[in-house]
Amino acid sequence: MKKFTLLAGALLLFAASGMAQEKEPTKILLVPEADAGKTVAFTLEAMSVIEAKCLGCHSPSGKSDKAKEKLQWEKLQTLSGADAMAKLDELLEVLDKGEMPPAKMVEKYPNMKLTEEESAKLHKWAEAALAKLE
């Protein structure tokens, strides 16, 4: 009976560990600025804001299909020069207008609102990235 209990316990533990791995969020690899070349790269400051406030919606595992269509951060790194520049221009416009995150998201999750400092970090990064591509 002890062997059966131990075996059943081990199987439950194994199954539970497998389920825990399935629920782990998708990790996104963002290219740091130092390793970029002519690819859009991210400063550590920009990466910290993107991870905290943007990837929840703008990544393959994001919550919103509309947000995934508009921008996926890791795909930004694979765009050609003109396409990347257009996406960065669009990002700057959204930041200037204060349109991200959307009002409904902020209403539901007030902590997701970009602070002025966070917005400024993303703006500074996007301008520099755009200048590198030009």
* pLDDT recorded at residue 74: 85
| 32: β partners | 42
Q: Is the confidence at residue 119, as pLDDT, over 80? A: yes
Q: Which amino acid is at 28?
A: I
| 42: β partners | 32
* pLDDT recorded at residue 97: 94
Please provide the average confidence, as pLDDT, over all residues in the chain.
77
Peptide bond into 60 cis (omega under 30): no
Write down the pTM of the prediction.
Answer: 0.70
Q: What is the pLDDT of residues 59-96, one digit of tens each?
A: 888 888 899 889 988 888 888 888 999 999 999 999 99
State the residue for tokens 């497998």.
Answer: 18
* pLDDT recorded at residue 81: 82
For 25, the 3-state DSSP assignment is coil
Structure tokens at 127: 């301008």
